Amino acid sequence: MRDLLLAATALDVTPPPGHTLDGYAARTGPATGTADPLRVSIIWISTPDDPGVLWLTLDAIAVGKELTAELAAAAAGVAGIPASHVVVSASHTHSGPSGWTGQIHPVIPTEREPALYEPLLAAVSNAVLTPEPAVASWRSVEVVGVGTNRHRREGPHDNTAGVLALHSLDGSLRAVLLDFACHPTTYGPENLQWSADWPGAARAALEPAVVGFLQGAAGDVSPRFTRQGRGPAEVTRLGQLLAARVLESLSEPGLELPPAAPTIRRETLTLPVRPIPSATDAAAIVRDAERAVHGGAEEPSTRIAQTRLDGARGQALMAAVDLPPELELPISVVTFGDVCWVNLPVELFALHGATLQDKSSHSITRVIGYTDGYFGYVVDPTAAENGVYEALITFFDQPTTNQLIAETAAFVNG
């Protein structure tokens, strides 16, 4: 007799129009409506004598410290488990509300809105979770055509999707915990409608299973070189491309995971904030970036130049505020049989995701960002040297980045 239990549900948490969207500093107005729903997905795996792990995934740009604590407490209350067993992850869609989590970086000043986060928390608090016996299996599959390295097409990028499949004892697919690394930025700053972007389209194509989406090491990965447009048809195309590969993988036997609850370990890393250029130097960097912008708006080279300008302006904003001398980053490791998820509250570059996988003692390691908080980009040496957008607004220099990767790897293997 199997002891593994699964409870899974999906909640529509789409806000009303009239509120600010997050993700692009260039947006010019509030949300005017909904392109596709924003959702919370809850996947809780346990046994009768072990609370296991509950994943709560949200269609949002990020989950800040306050929102993470609130959502974890709400989900834990429904499940009757400690909040420490709840993992809260954002998909990083750039078409969700800023008012859920508030300001995540000086680049886009904003505030939390009770009119938005209170209904979100109420929806989670009123969720119904009914554990039922389940079977868990694992697969990974290559997905080509959704995203690439957004600075150079052939640059680093993990193009595999991790698929945790959860079936009822009658063989029906009940839930999928899916991870993949790529910015959900099909829609651009001109879009003023709520959207989960391509992760939402992939989720819709996998229904009626409950799909929890985990964003991978996507700091320098996006559809910049793969998208064929910036509207709903392209959102659907990219999402269905990913879903089709997931369904293909599910048609074959996977690695069966043991009927034991997953486990979670947590740690907090204290990291220094990098020295920020003076206001005068930051302004000079903005002027240089302004001179480099030219060409058609949707040409990749123009987008790269424009995002560098956005980064230079963001760095100037950082120079104008009092940043803390150090930041405390919560990290966690979830293990389930041979599978290990390394969860960090940052936007790791693909190179760092690969490094953590290489250093891991676990045979299957998935690196997940945007989880249990948000502390911006963590860039690789090439990005730092070239002064790209992400390097201009990161909180961390390269020695601190190396510290983060080394301490995380040691914790994973501890």
Whether residue 89 lies inside any domain: the answer is yes
Whether residue 227 lies inside any domain: the answer is yes
Whether residue 307 lies inside any domain: the answer is no
For the segment 105-123, what is each residue's pLDDT rounded down to a tens digit? 888 889 999 999 999 999 9
- What average pLDDT is seen over the chain? 95
Per-residue pLDDT at 366 exceeds 90:
yes
Whether residue 403 lies inside any domain: the answer is no
The number of beta carbons lying within 10 Å of the beta carbon of residue 115 is 12
The alpha carbons of the chain give a radius of gyration, in whole angstroms, of 20
Per-residue pLDDT at 159 exceeds 60:
yes
Residue range of the domain that includes 231: 5-263
Whether residue 56 lies inside any domain: the answer is yes
Q: What is the pLDDT of residue 308?
A: 85
Per-residue pLDDT at 295 exceeds 70:
no
Whether residue 247 lies inside any domain: the answer is yes
| More reliable by pLDDT, 80 or 305 | 80
Whether residue 314 lies inside any domain: the answer is no
Which residue, chain included where needed, has tokens 């407490």?
73
Whether residue 414 lies inside any domain: the answer is no
Q: pTM for this structure?
A: 0.95
Please state the rounded mean pLDDT for residues 286-309. Answer: 77
Q: Name residue 139's beta-bridge partners.
A: 163
**Rounded Cα–Cα distance for residues 341 and 265 (Å):** 11
Q: What is the pLDDT of residue 292?
A: 82
Please state the rounded mean pLDDT for residues 231-255. Answer: 97
With cut-offs at 50, 70 and 90, classify the pLDDT of residue 1: very low
Tally the domains of the chain.
Answer: 1
- Crossing angle, helix 114-125 and helix 65-79, to 10 degrees? 20
For the segment 310-357, what is each residue's pLDDT rounded down to a tens digit? 888 889 999 999 999 999 999 999 999 999 999 999 999 999 999 999
With cut-offs at 50, 70 and 90, classify the pLDDT of residue 2: low
Q: What is the pLDDT of residue 289?
A: 86
Q: What is the pLDDT of residue 301?
A: 72
Which class for 88: exposed (0-12), middle (13-18), buried (19 or more C-beta within 10 A)?
buried
